[in-house]
Each structure stands twice: as C-alpha cells, then as structure tokens.
Amino acid sequence: MNLAINEAWKYQILTYPNPAVGCVIVDKFGKILAIKAHQKAGLAHAELSAVISAFEAKFKDTSLPKNPSKAYEYILANHDGFLNGAKAFVTLEPCSHHGKTPPCANLLNKLGFSEVIIGSYDNTDAASGGGKLLQKNGVKVKFGILKERCDELLAPFLAWQSGNFSFLKLGMSLNGVVSGGVITGLGARVLVHKIRSVLPLLAIGGNTVRIDRPTLDSRLANGIYKTYDAVKTDENECKIGELVCSDYETNIRAFDEKYPSKVNKKNYKTDSNSQKIDSSFCQTNDTFYKTHNANTFEVADTYKTHSTHNPDVFIYSRQKEFDKTIPLFSIAKRKVIIGDDIKFVRSYPLCMFEGGQNLLANLPEFVEYVLIFFAPNFLNLANLSANLKLKLLNLCEIDGEFYGWFKIVKK
C-alpha cells in the first residue's frame, strides 16, 4: 500500500478535478506486477492503469488502444485469466460508476482478482459502492489499510469537492533561501507549470509581483525547452518517444493520441542515411515540431501557446496600482484580481499560493498543505524566518532535486 501511496503523490493536484489514487497489483504468489497511479483527468484510473501495465508486461502486447474505455474493453476480451487470484492494493475504494471510463470495481471483479485491499472509503454519491460490488461477487475486500496516509492523499480532493483546497508552494535552497532569482532546476519548474496547467487560481503577494515581474503561466508544462533525443528512424518511418526522459514522456504520448495519423506513419518521412525528420513536414504540418539537427527536435512555438490552460491570478495587495506591462497581465483568457481580502481565493475550488517570506508569515488559516521544492545547494543570502510546524506527507526526487508535501500542524 505504501508503494501505491507514494506513486499517487507524484500526481497530486495534476489529477484535478479527480482524486490522486495509486494502485499496486500482485499476483497470487505475491510478486509485484504493476505500480501505477491516476495521472490526469481523462486518462485511465489507477486500477486500469495498473492492469494495462501488467497486461503489457505479461503478453508483450503494446497494441492496446490509447483510449481508456477501449483499453478496458480490449483487456476484458483478451486477458486469458492471467490475473486470477491476484490482489490489488488501492488507496481509494474502486469506483462503481460509469464516468469517462467504465467502473474499476467491475474490471477487478471480471479479471478474477481474489482480494482488493483499500485505504480510504469513497463517500462520494456517484462513485461509492465499489467495495460492496466486489464483496457481492465473492471478492475478499479489506478496508482502511494505512487509512491515515490514504486519507491525507485524498484530502485535497475532498476539500475542493466541498468548496476549496488551497496550498502554499515554495522553492528554496537547503538553507531556506527563497529569494534571489530562480532557485530550483528545470524538472521542478516543469512540474510547477504542469500544476498551473490544471489550476483554476494562483495567489501571489503584491510585493513579489512588483519585484519579480512574473508571467505565472504554464509554458513549460509540455517540456518545450527540452530538446529530445527521441527520434528513432527505420527506413521510411520515424518513431517518437523511446528515448524520451520520463518527465516528458507523457507529453509525447499525448501528442501521439491527439494526432495518431501523424505518428508512426509515413507523414514522418525520413532520409534513411541521415535519419532526419522530413523538414517540410516539420515546417508545414501545423508546425508542431521543428528540427534542430539530425536526431533532435522540440515542440515548436505555435504549439506552446495553444497547448495549455493558464490559471487566473489573485494579487494579494492593499495597493491596487500595478504596472500593467508586468507579463502576468497579458496572458490570454486570464482574469487578474487585485484585492486585500485573502478569503476571496475560497471562491475558487483550487488555489496555489506562490510566495516567500510575507506569505509564509501571513498564511491564512485555511491553507493546510505546503509543497516545498528543495534545490541541493546553499546560497549566501538571507533565509526564511518563520515559525511553522510541519508534518511530512511524502517526499519525491525530481531531476537531482527533491520536493515534499507537508501538512501544517495547527497549534
């Protein structure tokens, strides 16, 4: 269950408006077959994602449909009983309703799982009852395993469902310096941009806006500044994705799904000697890619600007005058609200506070979680001064740095 919990934390917030959920599948001998999490709304739930992973490994079959509902049907038609007697550990009770995908409880039942071990109960009207459905069909169900950790993982979802979830994000050096320019590396920044790409509202202090002149957009969410060694060619075909580092893999796959006809097909014409992407394709077909040299490419500028959602911004400031040439004011489809009543942010279901010293010192009562990115260095600058007790919820590594989710311990 710990493995399922840790995997799910990697996608905390990114699954919005869905909950972060993790799933581990072990076979009847106890061997781990898959550790997966729900990654994004619209993609497979954790259980289906784990089943897909186990299925692909077992049958060396990578021809599964990308569409989750179709993959679900494909597996039910072709599983050959390979999960008979298997156990699933799921951080949240499997769903029993038809959402964007068919119900996970039904999937586990039909695949012949003998036992499902569940962390948190699902109390939502729409999705609950998965445990009962399994029990009714003779599957052994255990509830409440590592329940406290599973509940902490689920808490943001329950909070935004019942009104608002707000958290603070900080990036700091090991000695607690948060100022003086960009502190964390590309991996951490890409993750923050991914969070922004699903975020309804971002809150920031007025002083930070005046001094840093930020953009606060999600332009890095697709890893666009990364140049990929990702083009593998053979004869007339060109495949994308095999050498992509894991942080960017999802984006390439997403591209595959959206434009299936343009991937692994002859639209990508290659010269078998030089292994180049056909330059005319790159420049004319929607200019999604531009080549740099024989084996690398990056997503082109036009794709950047249309690809992601950007959050509205609440500037917490008594002084209402701002220089409107600060980049954050010129992001399309964005509302900027300037105000001194911090409770305003609770009119949005999900809000990330980005800030430093001032915000930390005046953190509103309703902020319960803190996300901190640590760069592995010390900086010879003034560090944060605050009086705050935190409980570590989860720790992750990213691109040689690390970040943690913490819960504020109330006095």
Using left for φ > 0, alpha for ψ between -120 and 50, and beta otherwise, residue 348 falls in: beta
Catalytic residues: 47
| 4 vs 104 by CB, closer to Zn ion | 104
Residues pairing with 169 in the sheet: 354, 371
**Segment (H or E) for 55:** helix 46-59
Q: What is the DSSP string of 15-42?
A: TTTSPP-EEEEE-TTS-EEEEEE--STT
What minimum distance in Å lies between the beta carbon of 96 and Zn ion? 8
Q: How many residues bind Zn ion (CB under 5 A)?
A: 3
CB 296 within 8 A of CB 228: yes
By CB under 5 A, residue 45 contacts Zn ion = yes
| 45 vs 276 by CB, closer to Zn ion | 45
Contact residues for 206 (Cβ-Cβ < 8 A; gap 6+): 315, 316, 317, 318, 319, 322, 338
| 95 vs 345 by CB, closer to Zn ion | 95
| 117 vs 315 by CB, closer to Zn ion | 117
What minimum distance in Å lies between the beta carbon of 15 and Zn ion? 12
What minimum distance in Å lies between the beta carbon of 41 and Zn ion? 12
By CB under 5 A, residue 104 contacts Zn ion = yes
What minimum distance in Å lies between the beta carbon of 150 and Zn ion? 15
Region of 73-81, 90-98, 240-248, 347-355 interacting with Zn ion (CB under 5 A): 90-98
CB 143 within 8 A of CB 129: no
What minimum distance in Å lies between the beta carbon of 328 and Zn ion? 37
Region of 29-37, 68-76, 98-106, 112-120 interacting with Zn ion (CB under 5 A): 98-106
Residues pairing with 240 in the sheet: 231
Query: From the list 25, 51, 95, 188, which residue makes contact with Zn ion (rule: CB under 5 A)?
Result: 95
Region of 87-95, 110-118, 186-194, 256-264 interacting with Zn ion (CB under 5 A): 87-95
| 45 vs 262 by CB, closer to Zn ion | 45
Kindly report the CA angle at 118 between 94 and 53, in degrees rounded to 5? 60
- Helix, strand counts (H, E) of the chain: 12, 19
CA atoms lying within 13 Å on the CB side of residue 319: 9
The residues of the shown chain that bind Zn ion, judged by CB under 5 A, are: 45, 95, 104
